[in-house]
Each structure stands twice: as structure tokens, then as C-alpha cells.
Structure 1
Amino acid sequence: MPIAVLRAETFYLPPPTQPRNAWDQVPAAERVFRWIEYRLQRRVVPPEATVDQTYFARINGNRWLTDCICGSAQVISPTDPRYACTECGWGWCAVTFPADVAAVEASLLELAPHLRHWWNELDPLNPVQPEPPAEEPQ
């Protein structure tokens, strides 16, 4: 069975001293805040405000990620398409996922997990920008 692409709810897990389902009621986008507190022993409070900014989801090394304007990144999930930065505190932003998440994930399953990478073609940060249409000769 192939290794699934990691999402926030499969990456940010409770400590081994708690039941594996202890965070099941925590929305996927908010799990990172609990994980940071446990793993880094750093109090991080999720922002209250929503900001008018949208990020694109991408797959990097078999993980759904999004990048903050501050340079930080975190694992995200299509089940909760929001993002808030644990580093700079930037408020809740919308995250744009592909229309068919399952198809994108399935298209990568034949690759070794460390080779699984995908960018939204509309993402201005996509390193492989589409070629502009050729001009027709006059």
C-alpha cells in the first residue's frame, strides 16, 4: 500500500502520553498550535482575526504545505483550508487547494515520497511557470 500524502491531521499528532485520538476534535488548521506548544515548549496563541490574504497549497516532499509571507511554512489540510502563522502571528488566511485534491494526491503515489512535489499552476511562486502563448506571425 502506498504511503499517503501527509496532511495536518496526520502530521500534527498528540504526544505519546495522550490517546492518538486526543486531538480529533481540533480543526486541522489549529493542530499546529497545540503541536508547537508540546514539541517546542513554546506558548503560541492562534490569532483571532481573519486577514484578507489567500495562499496556495502545494505538495513538498509528500506534505501539503503553504508558505507565509514571513518565510515560514507549515503542513496544512484540504479538510480545513485555513492558515495562520505560528512564527509571525499573521492572522487566518484562506488557502486555495486544487479542485480535485484526491486526483493530485493519486497522481503522485507512484513516486517515492521524497520526490512528491506539486504546485498550483496559478501560484505566482510556482517555479515552473507556463510558457506564454506564442505570438501569431502577421
Structure 2
Amino acid sequence: METGSGVETELTCTHGHTSHEVTLLEVKIADGRLLSTNQLTAVCNKLERYTTAGHPPITIQCLNGSRLSGILVIAMNLYLRARMEQEVDVVLEVKLARRSRPQFIADSESFDLLYEFVSSYLSDFNDYSNFR
């Protein structure tokens, strides 16, 4: 199924007599480019639906295991924190993520994207909320 945030594929994995459903969400981006803030928001919305619906754990991967994966993991943490607290600290979230994966957010372009994402998300969130 084609979605605004990528291609979503439902798979059934079978091993012996046991099987389980797997959903693969593939986000298409051009080589060497980062996600746009709109793509990042759409993916976070999709992931939030999976995490709140009691689905099994989510695995995130990218070509080198850190650049886009790191952006997505930290963006999701920022997204959830913003929904709960209406304020976030990008630097703190990056520091927390780097404790387990020091390779996350290794360039200023990725850091800038996270700031832009948070700014855009909080602006949209405040436009449609009663938190003024």
C-alpha cells in the first residue's frame, strides 16, 4: 500500500507451525538526501499509531545504521515528548540517544533537520491545541 510516508507492506512470516504478521514501512528518499520535515512528521504519525496499538517492537534501519535511523529515532522521541509536554530539548535528546549509539547525528545538517522538525511540529501542534 502506498502511503504519504512511504510504502507499507503487510507480510506473514512462517517458521514451522508458527507464523506472525510483519508490517514493513519503507520510506523512499533520494541518495544522500535527508527526509523532509513533512516526511518525518508523517513517519512519526505512522509509528505512533503502531506503538499505541499494541504492535510488537519496531526495528528501524538505514544504509549505514546510523544517519537516517538516528534522525528517525530521535525525531520520534522528540515527537512523543512534544505531544506530552509541549516543549522539548533537542540537544538533550541527541545526548541521550548518543549514549547507546555515538554515531547518531554526526553532522550539522541532521541536527538542523531535527530543529526544523521540532519547530514545525510544535508550531502546528500549537495552532490546533488549547495550550496557549
Give TM class, smaller chain. under 0.3
Structure 1 length normalisation: TM-score? 0.26
TM-score by length of structure 2 reads: 0.26
Q: Point out the structure with max Rg over C-alpha.
A: 1
Q: Which has the higher strand share?
A: 1
Of Structure 1 and Structure 2, the greater helix share is in 2
